[in-house]
Structure formats: structure tokens, C-alpha cells
Amino acid sequence: MEATSTWALLLALLLLLLLALALPRTPARSHLPPGPAPLPLLGNLLQLRPGALYSGLLRLSKRYGPVFTVHLGPWRRVVVLVGHDAVREALGGQAEEFSGRGTLATLDKTFDGHGVFFANGERWKQLRKFTLLALRDLGMGKREGEELIQAEVQNLVEAFQKTEGRPFNPSMLLAQATSNVVCSLVFGIRLPYEDEEFQAVIQAASGTLLGISSPWGQAYEMFSWLLQLLPGPHKQLQRHLGTLAAFVVQHVQRHQGSVQTSGPARDLVDAFLLKIAQEKQDLGTEFTERNMLMTATYLLFAGTMTVGATIHYALLLLIRYPQVQQRVREELIQELGPGRAPSLSDRARLPYTDAVLHEAQRLLALVPMGMPHTLTRTTCFRGYTLPQGTEVFPLIGSVLHDPKVFQNPGEFRPGRFLDTDGRLRKHEAFLPFSLGIYWTGC
């Protein structure tokens, strides 16, 4: 009997210890924004239903204001920024302090801090500078890149014409077209739409995006420490990422046997391989095969899904609003004439078409949660003291749908991006992806 009581006491003490460890702790000398009180182990799960995390955070902002604190599970404390003023003040006015990359549990197991989009500190600075310069040298933002896009658009139009007016779902073709532009820049290849391996890569990219945004994906962000030990949809997500990574490895290996050390880089992989060779004697270099593979893998995923999904949504809006479609058509015919494809040099002559594309991106808010950030040092923000390492969610969707900036934000109104003279009007709240020195439109 005495032994049983001893074991019961030890078990009770162990449970109390676990509960104490599970309680979120506030570092000394910090003054965090207000927020709902967390429960042991659960955090704010009761207020933030997985599958509706974004809407739950917006709901909490109505009670706690545009800057507040939540707990995703037992150990993940997050400061949330809602609305144009708070997000711009943090990511624009204090960009350096908010420039660290936060946790994205659904992807971190694969990327593990490698590659330009998942690196931090000096690794990120070196990889970002190199990647942007390399892509620009390959034609991104220049005439060569524009010609590449126009050629792919022609292939896409021809694929549409083959349907002969029958109803069809353009999702796969749109994703393949945008992916081909990425593949041309990164790997120097273009794949036919009928290629089964190419279709599998697109399906893997789509599956990855769906997995991240699914209710399970949001639950995984809150309880990855537990769910990663159990079977579930996250295993399928890892398989999708494995398909993308295998495709990248295959084409990197092809380059390794053909790269010309004396010639200019043909594509981004070439540029990386040449840089890796130059710095192979530097034991501390960030130009490693791992960083190259992870950079290429994320470019393949993000470049395929973000642009493809945005174009798909814009087409749906044009179908839903035929009067807008007609006005775009009239502007194109009037300014370009029938049959000529538009180019970047025509942009100033097509303000209404440009406004439609801006409004489509604003209304879609493709990444409403924004990308998670962390503070690089202890920071004072709006009267609060946020300790170094604090994770921050800048809700980009709340900026794009901020009623203080965009009247009736749920309506599709391209005219909001035009001034009284019919010219394109820039909105400082137009942040379709993010802001600041870490996450940009690149």
C-alpha cells in the first residue's frame, strides 16, 4: 500500500512538473502585448480553431487590438500584427529588428534553415544577394526574361485553343506555364505540358500548398512536437516535398556533368555550381550544395503555385465580372491593336488592365497569414518590449482587406487603383506577399 502511494505521489509530481514546463513563460524585462490567457499544453487552442486560424486571429484583434499575443500550443508564443498601420510600422519602420525568419513547421523539417527563403542571419544575406544578382544576370526583369515569358504565354494560348471551346479546368496548364518560366531560369529547361514527370511535379507542388493551408496543416503548426510522432497527412506532405526535391536533384546532377567553368552561367544552378567551386576552400562558406538544392526546391514550389494561383483567380474574376473583362479587352485593342501580345513597355498605356491585376491580387490575398518573422534583438514596439527571438505573424491579408485603406474591401473594384485622370495609383497598403528587408516580392 505504501509503495502504491509513493508511486502515485511521484506520478502526481511528474504531472505537475510537465504542466509547469508546458506553461508559456515570459522572459524577464519584457512587456508583451495583451492576449487571451493560455491553457497548459493547449495554449490558445480553444480560441483558435485549426482550419480557421486566420479568421480566429482577426476575431481576437477586435478584442485585443492590432497588436496582441497568442500561444500556439504549449511553447510557441507569437505576437500578431493586424492592419496596415501595425504591419507597415513593424516591417517597414523597424525592418531590421523584425527581419528574422520564423517557424513554418510544415516545411522546416525539409528545409531546416537552408536555402535563401529559410535561412537567417549572414547565411540569408549572402544567399539572397547572390540569388537576386544571378537571376537578374539571367534576364529576370530585363528584355530577355520578358521574351521568355511571352514565348511561354504563346505555348499556353495554343494549349487553350486545343480545347476548341469545350469547358476545361485551366489550373494544371497555368501552373505548368509558370513553372516552365521558373525551370528555364533555374535549370535551363522547358518541359512539354504532356510530360508525365512534369505533371507529377505540379501535383506535388499543389499538394504541398494544400497541405500547408489545410486544417491539419494549421494544427501541425500548433502541435508539431506531438503530431510529427504520429501518422497523418503531414507524411503525405513530406512525400510531396520529396518529389520536388528529387526533381531538383536530378537536374542538378545533369548540370554537374556539363557546367563550363570558363563560360557564363546558363541558369541559376550553373551560377551556384560555379560559386561553390570558387569557395570550396572556404570551410565557412554558405555556398554549399545543400543551400543550392533548397533554394532551387523552394523556387520551384513557390514560383509555380503563387503566380499560377493568382492568374487562375484573375481569370475567374473576369468571368464573374464580364463588364470588367470587356473593358480590359477594349483597352488592349485600342492601345496595342488586335493580335499583339503586351510587353512591360506597354504597362503605362494599360492602366485599367494593370489596375485589374492589382485588385485581383489584393482581393485574393494569397498569403493571408504572411510569412512568420522573428525579432533579431530585443525591441520596443508601440510601448511593448518584445524580447529577442519573439515570433511575429504579420497578417498580410488584414492589410490588403483593411477597411481604413480600402473601402468595402470585400468587393472587386479595380477603380480603387486608378486616380481621377485614369492613371494607375499606387497604394502603400498593396502588399500581396510581404514587406521589409527579409520577405519581399522576389
For 336, the grid coordinates are 496595342
Residue with cell 511575429: 392
Query: For residue 211, how far is the Cα from the chain centroid?
Result: 14
- Residue pair 106/100 in contact by the 8 Å Cβ criterion: no
Backbone dihedral angles phi then psi of residue 78, each to the nearest 5 degrees: -130, 135
CA-nearest of 81, 52, 46, 20 to 391 is 81
CA-nearest of 164, 213, 232 to 367 is 213
For 17, the grid coordinates are 512538473
- The per-residue pLDDT string of the chain (442 residues; one tens digit each, 9 = 90 and over) reads 445 545 544 554 455 455 555 555 555 445 899 999 998 888 898 888 767 889 999 999 999 999 999 998 888 899 999 999 999 999 988 999 999 998 888 898 889 999 998 998 899 999 999 999 999 999 887 888 889 999 999 999 999 999 998 999 999 999 999 999 999 999 999 999 999 999 999 999 999 988 888 888 888 888 888 888 888 888 899 999 999 999 999 999 999 888 877 778 899 999 999 999 999 888 889 999 999 999 999 999 998 888 999 999 999 999 999 999 999 999 999 999 887 888 888 999 999 999 999 999 999 998 898 889 999 999 999 999 999 999 999 999 999 999 999 999 999 999 999 999 999 998 888 877 654 433 333 3
End-to-end CA distance of the chain: 68
How many Å is the maximal CA-CA distance in the chain? 94
What local confidence, expressed as pLDDT, does residue 9 receive? Answer: 47
Q: Which H or E run contains 72?
A: strand 67-72
Residue with cell 500547408: 212
Q: How far apart are CA 248 and CA 251, in angstroms?
A: 5
Which residues neighbour 405 within 8 Å (Cβ) at sequence distance 6 or greater?
A: 84, 399, 427, 429
The structural domains of the chain, ordered by start, are 29-102+358-442 (1.10.630.10), 105-320 (1.10.630.10)
